[in-house]
């Protein structure tokens, strides 16, 4: 779908102001994520605003453990820790190959 310049600037403003992410804008307006990014840049350039210094990626996974999970690990025996490590290695290998086993928790 084609958008007018005003509509593009409005989409860009919403992304720049943090109302929606560029991924949400892409879904909402049925445009590519890079197009949404370009609209945000167009808005920024038209209003002579500085680049945002926010998060680099919204979808980036968090590798930090929550404190509750850490306490659970501290309470485990050596054998339980070894089992959890094996499960984690198997899950990692499955993810690298691109599949998962249903019912495996």
pLDDT at residue 65 in the model:
46
Distance between the two ends of the chain, CA-based, in angstroms? 43
- Is the pLDDT at 13 greater than 60, yes or no? yes
Q: What is the pLDDT of residues 25-75, one digit of tens each?
A: 999 999 999 999 999 999 999 999 998 776 555 554 444 445 567 778 788
Q: Say if residues 11 and 29 touch (Cβ distance below 8 Å).
A: yes
What are the angstrom distances between the C-alpha of 103 and each of 24, 32, 77, 100? 31, 34, 25, 9
pLDDT for 43: 95
- Please count the other Cβ atoms lying within 10 Å of the Cβ belonging to residue 38: 16
The token duo for 97 is: 């190959």
pTM of the model: 0.51
- How do residues 77-104 score in pLDDT, each as one tens digit? 999 889 988 988 988 888 888 766 666 5
């Amino acid at each position: 779908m084609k958008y007018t310049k005003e509509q593009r600037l409005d989409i860009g403003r919403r992304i720049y102001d943090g109302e929606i992410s560029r991924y949400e804008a892409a879904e909402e307006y049925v445009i590519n994520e890079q197009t949404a990014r370009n609209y945000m840049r167009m808005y920024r350039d038209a209003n002579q605003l500085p680049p945002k210094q926010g998060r680099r990626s919204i979808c980036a996974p968090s590798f930090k453990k929550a404190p509750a999970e850490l306490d659970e690990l501290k309470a485990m025996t050596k054998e339980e820790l070894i089992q959890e490590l094996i499960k984690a290695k198997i899950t990692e290998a499955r993810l690298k190959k691109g599949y998962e086993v249903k019912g495996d928790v």
